[in-house]
Amino acid sequence: MQEDNVLEIIIDESLEGTRIDMALSLIYEEKSRSFFQKLLEAGQITLNGQPVDAKKYKVKAGDLVQAIIPEPKPLKVEPENIPLDIYYEDQDVLVVNKPKGMVVHPANGNESGTLVNAVLYHCGDSLSSINGIIRPGIVHRIDKDTSGLLMIAKNDRAHNSLAEQLAEHSITRAYRAIVYNNFSEDQGLVDKPIGRDPKDRLKQAVTDKNSKRAVTHYRVLERFGNFTYVEARLETGRTHQIRVHMAYIKHPLLGDLVYGPKKKLFGATSQTLHAKILGFKHPATGAYMEFESPLPEEFERILQKLRKE
């Protein structure tokens, strides 16, 4: 049995005046602020050898902070008989239409009911092993509350081929979204780097710090005055890329309470974003294949409301 890890840090001047939970999350970027808040509540963090009484304590230069980090519990991924909306399948690749609300792969807090659980039941051992036991066959992901098409690799050869196409930006990934505000142009692109938000570790942001290049092409499909129906095509595939880029150019997605207004309008239960078109070269034959899925019922209903108004 492994012992818990002890993190130890002496605060330097750059973090002076920062809340202790925030300071620790900035130092240890793989852990979130809420993670350290839970450790504080459990008495697992000491300050200069003493328990931290004030959870909002702002650190001073020279403070010695120690945190006891419990060993993570290993995830056990089980096959689950969850229906899949399959668009294509052969011995190399599986294309599925993921519903909104389904997480792609298990993680702490989401250990069942994921797309991986469903795919394991459907495919058995016929999945690539490159991404390990937590993400077998998973080549790319979409957010829990984004619906649409995903490709699954059923062997390592297929996985390598699809991953290479992603790296070369040759895969077609076209999304549909409803965004706030009108556009002065009919099409454009956003070429801005995306990384973890320096002010909020749970979010992504356009930033020059620890970021990667991100490119999103967009075009207007319909205009509704205060809202616009758009297509967004990914050239790169960063976490939350479309949501972050659209918010950056002052067109946040309708229903996106993380990057947009905290308003629930037109019955939107989450961001109105759907991965509608997916195209790639078949890993074995090299033939180009393209698939298109219809808009979810909620998305279509919101469009109809906007058209009537």
For the question of residue 143 being annotated catalytic, the response is yes
Choose, from 21, 63, 92, 143, the residue flagged as catalytic: 143
Q: Concatenate the DSSP letters of all residues of the chain into one string.
A: -PPPEEEEEE--GGGTT-BHHHHHHHHSTTS-HHHHHHHHHTT-EEETTEE---TTPBP-TT-EEEEEEPPPPPP----------EEEE-SSEEEEEEPTT--SS-BTTB-SSSHHHHHHHHHTT-S--TTTTTSTTB-----TT-EEEEEEESSHHHHHHHHHHHHTT-SEEEEEEEEES--SSSEEEEE--EEE-TT-TTSEEE-SSS-B--EEEEEEEEE-SSEEEEEEEESS--TTHHHHHHHHTT-PBTT-TTTS-S---TT--S--EEEEEEEEE-TTT--EEEEE-PPPHHHHHHHHHHHH-
- Which residues participate in catalysis according to the annotation? 143
